A and B are shown apart, each in its own frame.
Chain A
């Protein structure tokens, strides 16, 4: 069984569109994340979220917003897509990030390659 899954795997869209990427984890973890990996493979945290707190990397444009319908899901919504948003987006999860276990490793999904034309 896949621990952290993302859909779609590939997403090609036009500038200005609004799109969403879905993420689900079946590990029972309480914290989920979104990362952006650019063309040079540099990996950058975008959001950290659990049922108590959303932590946003201050460099992330407000066109990006996470939405969590429940503890097992954290979807990424992107409004008014720009060329520079083209990247691979990774979802990840971990357990007890804020309640005694910030040393726990994160489990990553397979990634969603977003191409903005």
Chain B
């Protein structure tokens, strides 16, 4: 079985400050990890993914995420937050070794609020 935990329902940060949105995962094999963002009344948009290789992954809109196998984490980060980054962020995992199809399991989402 595969699962994802996003321990924070909401993260508040001031514009210009760095932000971190936390994600931990559980898979029996090796993980594919993804971050998506959802703006109000919109579908999810892909931000970045970790497949293999460098643990630091860079994605859209200046976001990056660091894969940490020992801590089973894939936290999303950005050095300087913008008000326009305010949205709902989802972490997702797929067990590359033990999952038929491309079934992603999503975390519960974290609402990011960036204040001016």
Where the two chains meet, the residues of A that have a C-beta atom closer than 8 Å to any C-beta of B are: 4, 31, 33, 40-45, 48, 50, 53, 55, 57, 90, 92, 94, 97-98, 102-111
Contacts and interface: CB of A to CB of B under 8 A. Distances in A.
A108 B43 contact: yes
A48 B100 CA distance: 9
Contacts, number: 70
A53 B101 contact: yes
A41 B102 contact: no
Interface in B42-89: 42-46, 49, 51, 88
A117 B41 CA distance: 21
A110 B42 contact: yes
B32 A103 contact: yes
Given A41-B108, A42-B108, A102-B32, A111 B101 contact: no
B104 interface: yes
A103 B49 contact: yes
Interface residues of B, number: 26
A67 to B, nearest CB: 18
Name, among A33, A103, A105, A106, the residue most crowded by chain B CB atoms within 10 Å (CB to CB).
A105
Contact of A106 (B42, B46, B88): B46
B29 to A, nearest CB: 12
A68 B102 CA distance: 17
Nearest to B47: A105
Contact of A43 (B94, B99, B106): B106
Contacts of A108: 36, 43-45
Nearest to A45: B103
Contacts of A109: 43
A48 B46 contact: no
B3 interface: no
Contacts of A44: 106
Given A42-B108, A105-B34, 15 more contacts: A31-B102, A41-B38, A55-B103, A57-B103, A90-B43, A90-B44, A92-B43, A97-B101, A102-B96, A107-B46, A108-B43, A108-B44, A109-B43, A110-B42, A111-B42
